[in-house]
Amino acid sequence: MFLVLVWACAHHNRDAALVEQLDSEVLALKTRNEALWTELRKCNAPDAPLPIYQELVQAFSGTEVVVSLAGLDVALDVPGPLLYDTPQEVRLSDRAALVTDLLATALRTNPDPHVTIVAHLDGTELAPALVKRFGSDWELGGFQAAQVGNALLAAGIDGDRVTVASEGSTVEPGETTRHHFTVVVGPEVAGR
């Protein structure tokens, strides 16, 4: 009987040690699980930047394109001379391929975001031939933005993901501004 009690006591101590070890492992796993859930919530937070943001920052580093956050959207400020040789040009420049290729590559690896391309003209009076063809700088800007959008379509981006617009020239007489494009990448929003 004594041997049975000694054996039971030894078994109990081993079982208690095993239970204690398992309890500490369970606690460690719970702590790790909570930390992972916290990280996951940060990833899915409504105010977290889109994953494409870091990709675009890296892709356009060292260029004249400025990448920034605008709320939940990623905004790219693209100087007009990177896309067109002059503000009144109707054909994309050879340099435009660099910008459109980098943007298209980021959009292909991130298939959800929508892109809106907005042209901003510099207020230069349109040449008579352009007035005849387009009527106003607003329409020329829309045409230029559409050319950039068409370059993205040619690079394999679905047309449902691309919107183009023009601000024309919002320059008051006597003021100057620069020819540039705002490219907004973000969740598709009705009316955008």
Q: Which amino acid is it at 94?
A: D
3-class SS of residue 185: strand
Q: How far apart are CA 88 and CA 59, in angstroms?
A: 28
More confident residue, 56 or 36: 56
CA angle, 82 then 126 then 178, to 5°: 40
Q: Identify the residue with better confidence: 112 or 67.
A: 67
Give dist(CA 118, CA 95) in Å, integer: 18
The superfamily (CATH) of domain 52-186 is: OmpA-like domain (3.30.1330.60)
Domain residue ranges of the chain, discontinuous segments joined by +: 1-45, 52-186
Question: How confident is residue 5, by pLDDT bands cut at 50, 70 and 90?
Answer: very low
Q: What is the pLDDT of residue 57?
A: 95
**172 DSSP assignment:** P
Assign 134 a pLDDT band (cuts: 50, 70, 90).
Answer: very high
The rounded distance, in Å, linking the Cα atoms of 105 and 96 is: 14
Judge contact between 141 and 120, C-beta under 8 A.
yes
Q: Among 17-21, 28-32, 186-190, which is the least confidently predicted range? A: 28-32
pLDDT tens digits along 93-117: 999 999 999 999 999 999 989 999 9
